Amino acid sequence: MRNYELEVPISKENEALEKKDEKCITCGYCKEVCKNDVTVARMFEVSPDREPICINCGQCAMVCPTEAIHERWDYLRVKEILENKNEKKIIFSIAPAVRVALGEEFGEKGSNVEGKIATAFKKMGADYAFDITFGADLTIMEEAQELVSRIEKNGVLPQFTSCCPAWVKYCEIFYPELLPNLSTAKSPISMQSTLIKTFFAKKIGVEPENIVNIVVAPCTAKKSEIKRKELSKTKQDTDFLLTTRELAKLLKEKEIDLSKLEETSFDSPLGTGSGAGVIFGSTGGVCEAALRTAYYMITGKNLEKEALNFHVVRGMDAIKEAEVEIAGKKIRVAVCNGMKNAKELIDHLKKKEVEYDFIEVMNCIGGCIAGGGQPKMTLLETEDTKKIRMKQIYKEDERMTLRLCHENKEIISIYEEFLGKPNSEIAEELLHTKYFDKSDMLGGMNHDK
């Protein structure tokens, strides 16, 4: 009999996480984070005869001191593919937050190692190395246009972000009444993977089934997201999802020392991203990026350099709010940093105590920089490490000359060549999705706790 008071049960069918009961020391850390920070364990009753509910965020794995809970490892399968390479094209891509955390596994804490990652991919045998920052830019083009359309056409508001799969699943299970508020835009990884298996496959004259598409992300929930059929235009657009930790394992097992590699650039046409795409990796980054491009879409003008920095939505505060005036219209935004704070904001929203046009939600406290698949930290290191990663994210944005999604030449090119315009018919078909009421998982139990 499991001790449900001190443990988070992990289903054998869980697509993102697995648990080795023999390693569990019933310390209670996993239950504490799931109940108090993620709030899932407080929203339903666990019983031996029911499948446990999980949003796959991996925060339980982050705090587990014995590795009893960890991500489902896919890196060994990827390693085998690399070692037995056939005629298939192998593509690696990294999500924005990976670049400021992977270095920690190789003695380079506080460094942005994106150039070395691009080199490492090729050294392992990748045919192409891409940057999901391109996908982040594309997401903003679609999501910002969706927001502008909802505002101008009196659509459903507030619009919630949809790039965090843990949050999307949380909404589907516990707040299905809010599904019309979720942006229909796919996540950056899903958008980019769809383009790899459609647009890019055609461009290089390769059938989608002859591409092995591997994405490295800071997030365990993405392992579940890539298997959602509604997100793929082929059998599965993302073939493998490795966490940052898994990439570190893969490199070490292949005896590649990241710290000793030279820097190279990502490949085109899906390898260039703006500073706005880079800041997706930090809490507040999606909101800030969306505001930069929404301003342009409404006014036809870019914000001045200093005005590009929406400092009010940055940082680790639980709930951040801002009011931005665009062409005489006040846009009210909020950023929820962690699911417990999202739940608090949603409760206020349902009681009509607050009113917003746009709300960013990230499950992990700090955003993707603190994802469940990032290098582990001790409890004493956690706050400082998150701040260091976040600082590097914004430092990269400040350093870049390209800081607006809509000025990314690769983004402009793909719309001209393939997609037409944001929210076009083909963009809706390839880059947008739908969500489903999954509250039946609760068995009719009240979730408002």
Q: Which residues are catalytic?
A: 143, 146, 163, 183, 222, 225, 230, 368
Q: How far apart are CA 440 and CA 449, in angstroms?
A: 17
Closest CA to 338 of 42, 14, 10, 34: 34
Q: How far apart are CA 292 and CA 140, in angstroms?
A: 9
Fill in the DSSP letter of residue 417. I
Q: In this structure, what are the phi and psi dihedrals at residue 293, rounded to the nearest 5 degrees?
A: -85, -35
In 3-state terms the chain splits into helix, strand, coil percentages (rounded to 5) of 45, 10, 40
Closest CA to 85 of 41, 35, 126, 143: 126
Could you check whether the bond before residue 422 is cis, i.e. omega within 30 degrees of 0?
A: no
Strand ordering across the sheet containing 89-94:
128-131, 89-94, 211-217, 240-243
The total number of residues shown for the chain amounts to: 449
Helices (H) and strands (E) in the chain, counts: 16, 10
Q: What is the 3-state secondary structure (H, E, C) of 349-385?
A: HHCCCCCCCEEEEECCCCCHHHCCCCCCCCCCCHHHH
Q: In this structure, what are the phi and psi dihedrals at residue 160, rounded to the nearest 5 degrees?
A: -90, 145
First vs last Cα of the chain: how many Å apart? 26
Hey, what are 127's tokens?
């045919």
Q: Residues of 214-227 as b/e, b for ≥16 C-beta within 10 angstroms? A: bbbbbbbbbbbbbe
Hey, what are 359's tokens?
């709300």
Q: In this structure, what are the phi and psi dihedrals at residue 156, rounded to the nearest 5 degrees?
A: -70, 120
**Contact call for residues 100 and 393 (beta carbons, < 8 A):** yes
Hey, what are 296's tokens?
């342009």
**Contact call for residues 244 and 104 (beta carbons, < 8 A):** no
Q: How far apart are CA 184 and CA 158, in angstroms?
A: 13
DSSP run (H or E) holding 242: strand 240-243
